[in-house]
Amino acid sequence: MIPIYKLRDLSPAQILNRDIRQEADVSAAVDAVLADVRQNGDEALYRYTRQFDGAALDALEVTAEEIEAAWARLDEPFRQTLRQAAENIRAFHSRQVHQDFVLTDRPGVVMGQRYTPIARVGVCVPRSPEAFPSTILMNVIPARIAGVEEIVVVTPPDREGRISDEALAAAKIAGADRIFKIGGAQAVAALAYGTESVPAVDKIVGPGGIYVATAKRKVFGLVGIDMIAGPSEILVVADEYADAHCVAADLLSQAEHDVRACAVLVTTSESLARAVQQELEEQAAALPRRDIVEKALAGGGKILLAESLEEAVAAANRIAPEHLELCVQDPFALLPLVKNAGSVFLGGSAPEALGDYFAGPNHTLPTSGTARFSSPLGVDDFCKRSSFLYYSPQALADAAPRIAEFARREGLEAHARSVCARAKQAKEVQP
């Protein structure tokens, strides 16, 4: 049974299990895969797909015919669900687009900032047991809105060498350009280095297990990455008005992801704590992924008693969870107190799964406490900012003495002389 503690008796490190140290054997295995794919290209990808996925492929890339056939096989109600989810995600992320700006408020000076999209992006989509169509929507749509020229999706096939109809349909709706039947560290390597079939990209995004996360960490610098994702987390803050059955169901929705997932309830009500404790045991027993859920609850499940909701939210800010649910009577009163969370779910009618699939905000979120300094995946992750500036000859001549003094104070004489040379030239060409 999941234990109950007093919040004040535990440190943040004791509340969530965030030991994501990279094991030496994982690092060595990933190094070998990266080197193999870099050296042997497609041949290594075919070999790893047989080894890890049990699929003997004739081709790595999904064809247009396969995508259309998958779309045709899907029932119309689910097509409509995909369309509506995509529309919601598109509407939300469209509001994230930044505007370029130009400043001309000083005589002879023009400066500004412009946004340009990344040219080519790779999206990693895990399979458990099927490729996640929701992850495809959440990653591809913001990239499309940003204006990325080419979006490449990689996801491992099943033993028959197929990608699920749902995943291919999501890729079609979201606007992915190419889809490859590869996963794991080998997919990251293919995206980073390029092979005969897979184009090298400029940035790799998307979730994955420890091998994908380690591979992304190792290729960072050659390519950009979105984040290093740890196990999934949920922290529910609840008062005495919360529904114990629903709170338990929300905790289990994250516990079923992975045996290392963390599911924590912080409540001011001891009676709710006891009820949720009982609900967790009963509901877990009926789940298809019972074994994973029970291991996750045993390792990363806790119920914590707080003396006030303010204390509960303060603890959430120290923990900075991936998902934060405020299952309280007045969630909007607590929202201004929340400083660190990947995504916040307000009230008893906003379960975490609403954000996973349908509402619109992104479900690729900072984990392992990184919500203290990072954000959910969004349009910004697929853009670059560039500044620009122009000075007229006279404007530079006016500023040159101050710039030169600044440079010399830092011991950089060549900097000072470069400005003085331009300023002198400007004076000589004046009438």
Residues taking part in catalysis: 322-323
Structure tokens at 346: 């307000």
**Contact (CB, 8 A) for 177 and 151:** yes
Nearest to 382 by CA among 153, 174, 191, 119: 119
128 CB-near residues (< 8 Å, 6+ apart):
none
Radius of gyration of the chain from Cα atoms?
Answer: 26
Query: Peptide bond preceding 107: is omega within 30 degrees of 0, i.e. cis?
Result: no
412 to each of 406, 416, 426, how far by Cα in Å?
9, 7, 22
Structure tokens at 33: 């895969």
Half-sphere exposure of 248 (CA within 13 A, CB side): 22
Q: Please identify which residue in the block is written with the tokens 């408020």.
A: 105
SS3 50: helix
Beta strands across the sheet bearing 4-6: 4-6, 301-305, 262-267, 233-238, 323-327, 343-346
**Contact (CB, 8 A) for 235 and 321:** yes
Rounded Cα distance, 25 and 346, in Å: 42
DSSP string spanning 156-220?
A: ---TTS---HHHHHHHHHHT-SEEES--HHHHHHHHHH--SSSPP-SEEE----HHHHHHHHHHB
- Rounded to 5 degrees, what angle do the CA atoms 303, 304, 310 make? 135
Q: Please identify which residue in the block is written with the tokens 């379960």.
A: 351
- Axis crossing angle, helix 290-300 with helix 244-255, rounded to the nearest 10: 100
Structure tokens at 223: 């390519």
DSSP string spanning 344-384?
A: EEESTT--HHHHHHTSSS-S----TTGGGT-----GGGGEE
Distance of CA 179 to the CA centre of its chain: 19
Identity of residue 77: P
Structure tokens at 313: 């939210």
